[in-house]
Amino acid sequence: MAPPPARLRLDGETWLLVLTGAGVSAESGIPTFRAAGGLWESHPVEQVASPEGFAADPALVWRFYSERRRKARACEPNPGHRALVAIEERLGDRFLLATQNVDGLHGRAGSRRMVELHGNLFLSRCARCDRAPFPDEQEHDSVPRCEVCGTGLLRPHIVWFGEWLDPAHLQRIEAFMEEARSERFVFLAVATSGLVYPAAGLVSAARRAGGETWLVNAEPPENRLLFEHVVEGQSGRILPEFWTWA
Ligand code: NAD
């Protein structure tokens, strides 16, 4: 008989940093990037997810993201998203979720202490002026213009290939680890291939901060050997069951 899966023990003294990737939304019906063979809706990623692609054909990029908005809106959070909300409710400010997903499902499930490292499908910003990103649920058939500066094109608030992550997000994660390191610190990566940096480097940073490292993934990813505890399986099935409260 197979041994029972390892369980993560949490208590009121635990600090928990969670990193999620595209696989956490797979059971909600949103395909992972790699499952699509490196293509997004049959487009090479550079065409629809890079500043150069946007400069070359902004209308194509907006059609692509409008379709992704439509599809993401039709999906619902799954038990994996909800399990992270339940853990956050126990731990309060000792919890932080860093997600690479842009689909907004963690927020819709109820996650609050969260950084969306790669942006959010339902926010737009001006490609030209410094207007702050704003909520935008619309599906655009043509390229929308910024009403604030009057000249810039609006673009999805997504971190594209070749762009930098928001330094404020990385600072928030670093500050969390700094506070956590003097107590019991746990780092949990869920459903991420471990290939996209800087998120993929968080496990090493967590180890340097003395963290206990856990991974929940459908298959062993590239950086599997960096984790002390690995639980294989679908996050929507594993996450609700694999933690206990002491
Ligand atoms: P990835 O597609 O590279 O890897 C996903 C990982 O999840 C794989 O290791 C796979 O084995 C695992 N997985 C698949 N289904 C799972 C499940 N049900 N339970 C547990 N594990 C499962 O994704 P990535 O590493 O997150 O990087 C791709 C980038 O593409 C991300 O940075 C993200 O910004 C973007 N993306 C986002 C979404 C989204 O918002 N839902 C979807 C696709 C891509």
What confidence tens digit (pLDDT) does each residue in 70-110 have?
Answer: 999 999 999 999 999 999 999 999 999 999 999 999 999 99
pLDDT at 19 over 60: yes
Domain-located, residue 93: yes
Domain-located, residue 67: yes
Q: Are residues 21 and 87 in the same domain?
A: yes
The pLDDT of residue 35: 66
Domain-located, residue 2: no
Q: Which structure tokens are listed for 82? A: 């909800």
- Please state whether the predicted TM-score (pTM) of the whole model is above 0.85: yes
Q: Are residues 148 and 236 in the same domain?
A: no
Question: 147: Cβ–Cβ under 8 A, 6 or more apart, which residues?
Answer: none
The catalytic residue among 43, 81, 106, 118 is 118
Q: What is the Å distance from ligand 1's center to 217 Cα?
A: 10
Q: Are residues 22 and 84 in the same domain?
A: yes
Q: Is 118 a catalytic residue?
A: yes
Q: What is the Å distance from ligand 1's center to 115 Cα?
A: 17
pLDDT at 194 over 60: yes
Q: Are residues 207 and 241 in the same domain?
A: yes
Domain-located, residue 64: yes
Domain that holds residue 144: 39-74+124-158
Domain-located, residue 151: yes
The pLDDT confidence band at residue 223, using thresholds 50, 70 and 90, is: confident
Domain-located, residue 44: yes
pLDDT at 6 over 70: yes
pLDDT digits (tens, 9 = 90+) for 48-75: 999 999 999 999 999 999 999 999 999 9
Q: Are residues 144 and 237 in the same domain?
A: no
Mean pLDDT of 131-154: 95
Q: In what order do the strands lie in the sheet with 212-217?
A: 114-116, 95-99, 14-20, 184-190, 212-217, 229-232
pLDDT at 150 over 80: yes
